[in-house]
């Protein structure tokens, strides 16, 4: 917790000043006291309150004043709050290597299944958009809450040559800029926001999720694209998918694009699919994916199989729908202060009321 106006804590001096006034008033009353022939008779006639009854209201008043003085300093705290205005851009790699069968039945099918499960499980108010990238990148579905439209687009993914991770990030930024006026599109001037290392509370609620099984081969460097995202206070979560074991490249006819494979890749494969018997070594660039995530205040995840990918995507909503924001707590301190002060006054009035004989 921090204080927006720490100098306002000087109001806490009010309580010791009240104590000093009380002490002065009591001494003054003693000086002007009327002399009576028998003080003992007067004391016997007046039922005085016990010492603890005199001190409890004073203690409650003291605590109330402390809370009131703290409220005047405008205390703030970083708290996790749900944000239903977020936009999630899911950017999926559809390069030819997604036909690799090291993940059963192949990487693309496993990614499609996990993406659709992610869409079905997302019950928050955030909108989801879909970007696909290979040698180029394109927005397939603008941010929407229409799950059927999103899942239909996922089912229609087709592979192609190349891997343009950086372009996938930039395309996602532009898609977010269309729905969030606080996010400038790529190519526009970005206001100075204190740098990419600003506090968590400074990030936009929108996030980008990059799922890829390789390294950047086309277009903009991913680190350069990450700088653009960081300047706009957008977090980019990265997921490296697949294993490092050579495996056959097999995709169904509905998953194959016109230029997916070269040379020996592209003929009929086992089970009526297309691909080739030769294995391909996954060339996953984990250092770059990790750097992209860290630069933007996000995380990198490694998913070596379909179950791990599903677990990563199912865990993402818990991280992206709770946003950390600076919240002023003065209201609550005022309520507590009022409760203590009122309790002290009420007890003092109750215990000092005249009693019937």
* Residue among 207, 21, 28, 180 at smallest CA distance from 118: 207
List, for residues 111-136, the tens digit of each pLDDT value.
999 999 999 988 767 789 999 999 99
Would you say 244 and 191 are in contact if contact means Cβ atoms under 8 Å apart?
no
**Spatial CB neighbours of 266, under 8 Å, sequence gap ≥ 6:** 256, 260, 274, 275, 276
pTM over 0.85: no
Predicted pLDDT at 256: 85
* Residue among 139, 285, 166 at smallest CA distance from 221: 166
List, for residues 135-193, the tens digit of each pLDDT value.
999 999 999 999 999 999 999 999 999 999 999 999 999 999 999 888 999 988 887 65
Predicted pLDDT at 287: 94
* Residue among 47, 9, 97 at smallest CA distance from 283: 97
Q: Give CA–CA dist 68/10, Å, rounded.
A: 11
Predicted pLDDT at 111: 94
In this structure, how many other beta carbons lie within 10 angstroms of the beta carbon of residue 60? 20
Q: How confident is the model at residue 271 (pLDDT cuts 50, 70, 90)?
A: very low
Q: Strand 127-133 relative to strand 87-93: parallel, antiparallel, unpaired? A: parallel
Orientation angle between helical segments 51-72 and 330-351, nearest 10 degrees: 160
Better pLDDT: 353 or 105: 105
pLDDT at 258 over 70: no
Least confident range of 53-57, 98-102, 127-131, 209-213: 53-57
**Spatial CB neighbours of 342, under 8 Å, sequence gap ≥ 6:** none
pLDDT at 10 over 60: yes
Q: How confident is the model at residue 20 (pLDDT cuts 50, 70, 90)?
A: confident
Predicted pLDDT at 4: 63
pLDDT at 226 over 90: yes
Predicted pLDDT at 70: 79
Would you say 101 and 250 are in contact if contact means Cβ atoms under 8 Å apart?
yes
Better pLDDT: 247 or 78: 247
Q: Give CA–CA dist 302/309, Å, rounded.
A: 8
Q: Give CA–CA dist 251/158, Å, rounded.
A: 10
Better pLDDT: 94 or 260: 94
* Structural domains in the chain, sorted by start: 2-26+40-78+329-351 (no CATH), 84-320 (3.40.50.410)
Read off the tokens for 133: 């990238």
Predicted pLDDT at 52: 67
């Amino acid at each position: 917790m921090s204080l927006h106006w720490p100098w306002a804590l000087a109001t806490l001096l009010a309580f010791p000043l009240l104590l000093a006034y009380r002490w002065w008033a009591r001494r003054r009353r003693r000086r002007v006291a009327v002399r009576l022939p028998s003080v003992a008779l007067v004391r016997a006639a007046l039922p005085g309150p016990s010492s603890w009854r005199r001190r409890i209201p004073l203690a409650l008043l003291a605590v109330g004043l402390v809370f009131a003085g703290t409220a005047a300093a405008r205390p703030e705290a970083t708290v996790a709050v749900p944000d239903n205005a977020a936009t999630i851009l899911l950017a999926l790699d559809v390069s030819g290597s997604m036909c690799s069968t090291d993940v059963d039945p192949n990487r693309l099918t496993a990614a499609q299944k996990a993406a659709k499960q992610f869409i079905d499980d997302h019950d928050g108010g955030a909108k989801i958009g879909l970007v696909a990238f290979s040698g180029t990148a394109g927005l397939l579905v603008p941010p929407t809450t229409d799950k059927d439209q999103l899942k239909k687009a996922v089912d229609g993914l087709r592979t192609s040559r190349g891997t343009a991770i950086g372009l996938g990030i930039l395309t996602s930024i532009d898609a977010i800029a269309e729905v969030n006026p606080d996010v400038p599109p790529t190519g526009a001037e970005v206001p100075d926001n204190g740098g990419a290392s600003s506090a968590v509370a400074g990030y936009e609620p929108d996030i980008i999720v990059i799922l890829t099984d390789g390294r950047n081969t086309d277009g903009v460097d991913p680190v350069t694209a990450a700088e653009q995202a960081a300047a706009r206070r957008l977090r980019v979560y990265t997921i490296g998918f697949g294993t490092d074991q050579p495996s056959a490249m097999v995709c169904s006819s509905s998953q194959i694009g016109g230029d997916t494979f070269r040379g020996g890749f592209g003929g009929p494969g086992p089970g009526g699919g297309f691909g080739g018997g030769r294995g391909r070594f996954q060339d996953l660039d984990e250092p770059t994916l990790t750097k992209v995530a860290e630069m933007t205040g996000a995380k990198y995840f490694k998913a070596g199989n379909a179950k791990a990918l599903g677990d990563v995507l199912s865990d993402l909503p818990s991280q992206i729908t709770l946003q950390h924001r600076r919240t002023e707590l003065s209201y609550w301190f005022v309520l507590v202060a009022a409760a203590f002060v009122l309790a002290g006054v009420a007890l003092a009035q109750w215990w000092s009321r005249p009693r019937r004989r």
